[in-house]
């Protein structure tokens, strides 16, 4: 009931165009889709996965992801980010990228097509991804020294692979490469200044991310989060920071450079400075379920509709009905907060 009355209100206020754009009941336009294309991963990062091997995997045929993404794009999605698990493990990845690169938004522009990877296999794949039509890449790297990196990924030698992957992406022209670092107190909070130097020397954008309660081991505590203000203070011990304007509306990172204009650092602070009011994201898990928030307690099975022979209209109306229910915000750190039943590796970060 509430949903249909909201829809009519949106149509009355904004005219018929409101019907063709995805919007939730809080008035947020949804333009950014993250799709997990596998929940397999070759790393077992301490903030994401348990150290135990032997989980069940869920992947769909590439054609199913294409069909689902197309349904979202026809409703106003402008950016698509492929993630996982580790997307570079996925057979058929370049075919998927080629298909997505040929799609057009409802404004007839090409999709903004990005991928998030741990970079382990990137040295071999960077050119192929670029040739297939990939626009942007984010590489997760949580330390700029080999020993700390191995302690976090639980894979010896990971640092060298990732570094070579970043260099290959730069050579392939996927610039600027973004490097994501999840900060964990006691693991890599000593890496803030070294990462700032890394950004300045290597020409990459480094983004520090606050640790969220999405780890399989359920070890998250508020104390383990290295907050926005702490990161900023540490960076300022290197050189004075200069704030940069957002590049897009709804940008999650607060961006800085240094007083000499060299280097770029973003701080993404979903815990200490939540940005839910600006959220324009929706997610599809590797098994084809829509998640309206990282911290949702329920999922919505889009693939089931496709499997039952659903038409494009069936997919579109299911997506609309689901998106409208997007949660107003998360409740991390509040009494009664419930961790989602699936961790980041299954949801897709």
Select 84 or 266, whichever has its Cβ closest to ligand SAM: 84
Q: Rule CB under 6 A: is residue 163 a binding residue for ligand SAM? A: no
- Residues ≥6 apart with Cβ < 8 Å to 120: 42, 43, 86, 88, 155, 158, 161, 162, 165
> Are 112 and 135 in contact, with CB atoms under 8 Å apart?
yes
Q: Which of residues 170-189 bind ligand SAM (CB under 6 A)?
A: 180, 182
Helix (H) or strand (E) run with residue 280 in it: none
Q: Which of residues 55-74 bind ligand SAM (CB under 6 A)?
A: none
- Select the residue interacting with ligand SAM from 212, 225, 305, 323 (CB under 6 A): 212
Q: Which of residues 315-334 bind ligand SAM (CB under 6 A)?
A: none
Select 31 or 38, whichever has its Cβ closest to ligand SAM: 38
Helix (H) or strand (E) run with residue 205 in it: strand 205-210
Select 7 or 42, whichever has its Cβ closest to ligand SAM: 42
Q: Rule CB under 6 A: is residue 38 a binding residue for ligand SAM? A: no
> Are 35 and 81 in contact, with CB atoms under 8 Å apart?
yes
CB of 86 to ligand SAM, least distance (A): 4
What is the β-pairing status of strands 253-258 and 289-291?
unpaired
Residue 200, SS3 per DSSP: helix
Q: Rule CB under 6 A: is residue 215 a binding residue for ligand SAM? A: yes
Q: Rule CB under 6 A: is residue 77 a binding residue for ligand SAM? A: no
Q: Rule CB under 6 A: is residue 211 a binding residue for ligand SAM? A: yes
Write out the two tokens for 346. 């299954």
CA dist., res. 70 & res. 175, Å (int): 26
CA dist., res. 68 & res. 52, Å (int): 32
Q: Rule CB under 6 A: is residue 141 a binding residue for ligand SAM? A: no
- Select the residue interacting with ligand SAM from 31, 38, 117, 292 (CB under 6 A): 117
Handedness of CA 319, 322, 327, 328 (dihedral sign): positive
- Residues ≥6 apart with Cβ < 8 Å to 307: none
The count of other CB atoms within 10 Å of the CB of residue 196 is 26
Q: Rule CB under 6 A: is residue 344 a binding residue for ligand SAM? A: yes
Give residue number: closest CB to ligand SAM: 349
Which of these segments, 55-63, 64-72, 188-196, 207-215, binds ligand SAM (CB under 6 A)? 207-215
- Select the residue interacting with ligand SAM from 47, 159, 187, 295 (CB under 6 A): 47
CA dist., res. 169 & res. 140, Å (int): 13
Select 123 or 215, whichever has its Cβ closest to ligand SAM: 215
Which of these segments, 57-65, 208-216, 225-233, 275-283, binds ligand SAM (CB under 6 A)? 208-216
Select 310 or 349, whichever has its Cβ closest to ligand SAM: 349
Q: Rule CB under 6 A: is residue 158 a binding residue for ligand SAM? A: no
The count of other CB atoms within 10 Å of the CB of residue 293 is 19
Q: Rule CB under 6 A: is residue 114 a binding residue for ligand SAM? A: no
CB of 206 to ligand SAM, least distance (A): 12
Q: Rule CB under 6 A: is residue 214 a binding residue for ligand SAM? A: yes
Q: Rule CB under 6 A: is residue 48 a binding residue for ligand SAM? A: yes
- Residues ≥6 apart with Cβ < 8 Å to 12: none
CA dist., res. 322 & res. 288, Å (int): 13
Select 82 or 132, whichever has its Cβ closest to ligand SAM: 82
> Are 212 and 46 in contact, with CB atoms under 8 Å apart?
no
CA dist., res. 165 & res. 101, Å (int): 22
What residue ranges bind ligand SAM (CB under 6 A)?
A: 41, 47-48, 83-84, 86, 116-118, 140, 180, 182, 209, 211-212, 214-215, 344-345, 349
């Amino acid at each position: 009931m509430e949903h249909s009355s909201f829809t009519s209100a949106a149509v009355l206020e904004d005219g018929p165009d409101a019907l063709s754009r995805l919007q939730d009941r809080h008035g947020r336009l949804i333009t950014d889709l993250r799709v997990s294309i596998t929940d397999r991963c070759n790393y077992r990062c301490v903030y994401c996965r348990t150290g135990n091997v032997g989980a069940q995997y869920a992947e769909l045929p590439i054609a199913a992801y294409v069909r689902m993404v197309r349904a979202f794009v026809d409703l106003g999605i402008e950016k698509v980010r492929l993630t996982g698990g580790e997307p570079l493990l996925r057979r058929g990845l370049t075919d998927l990228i080629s298909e997505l690169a040929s799609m057009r938004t409802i404004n007839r522009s090409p999709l903004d097509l990005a991928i998030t990877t741990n970079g382990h296999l990137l040295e071999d794949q960077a050119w192929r991804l670029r040739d297939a039509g990939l626009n942007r890449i984010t590489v997760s790297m949580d330390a700029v020294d080999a020993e700390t990196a191995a302690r976090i990924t639980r894979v010896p030698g990971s640092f060298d692979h990732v570094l070579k992957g970043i260099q290959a992406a730069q050579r392939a022209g996927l610039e600027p490469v973004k490097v994501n670092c999840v900060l964990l107190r006691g693991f890599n909070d000593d890496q803030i200044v070294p990462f700032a130097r890394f950004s300045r020397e290597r020409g990459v954008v480094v983004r520090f991310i606050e640790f969220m309660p999405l780890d399989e081991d359920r070890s998250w505590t508020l104390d383990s989060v290295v907050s926005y203000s702490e990161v900023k203070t540490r960076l300022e011990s290197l050189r004075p920071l200069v704030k940069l304007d957002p590049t897009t509306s709804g940008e999650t990172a607060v961006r800085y450079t240094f007083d000499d204009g060299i280097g770029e650092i973003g701080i993404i602070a979903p815990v200490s400075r939540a940005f839910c009011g600006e959220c324009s994201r929706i997610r599809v898990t590797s098994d084809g379920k829509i998640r309206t928030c990282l911290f949702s307690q329920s999922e919505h099975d889009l693939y089931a509709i496709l499997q039952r022979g659903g038409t494009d209209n069936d997919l579109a109306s299911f997506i609309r009905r689901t998106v409208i229910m997007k949660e107003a915000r998360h409740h991390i750190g509040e009494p009664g907060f419930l961790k989602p039943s699936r961790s980041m590796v299954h949801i897709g970060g």
